[in-house]
Amino acid sequence: AAEARARVEALEEQIAAMQAEAKPVTDTTIVAEANPSEVESLRGEVEKLHSEVEQLQSFQSAAEGKAEALSAELEQATGRVGALEADLSAARAQRDEATTQARSASEAAVCAADAMEAASAENAASALRTAELEKELDELRGQKQEVESATSA
């Protein structure tokens, strides 16, 4: 857009310079002593300058149209950038929330693992105690049988 504006400004300057040079030629401004071929030559140059001015004005109009289109595109792009920045911000917030939840879940899993380990150790101790008690019970039953056998004999 800046390049197009610079071109438009340059074209405007060229047009102004050409318009300053291209003074309207009328029969009254032509020196009477000038020969007809010089007059025709000057008229040809004037027509050529007018044609160039019209062409430059046409280029200027086209450049202005293009500058307006580029400006509209820039506004749209700016809007899209704003929307993308908002989406990015929302995505970051979601990521942060997910990270927080993952940390909480990880901490809960560690606590659960610790509890399972403690329960497992408690179960192992209980199983060991049960085995010891069963062994004692078996020994007592054996002693009882011996006592009963001894008392019945």
Residue 151 has a pLDDT of 86
How many helices (H) does the chain have, and how many strands (E)?
A: 2, 0
> Roughly how many angstroms between the first and final C-alpha of the chain, as a whole number?
122
pLDDT at 26 over 70: no
Please give the torsion angle defined by the CA atoms of residues 66, 70, 73 and 75, in that order, rounded to the nearest 10 degrees.
-130
Residue 13 has a pLDDT of 82
pLDDT tens, residue by residue, 43-97: 788 788 888 888 888 989 999 999 999 999 999 999 999 999 999 999 999 999 9
pLDDT at 15 over 90: no
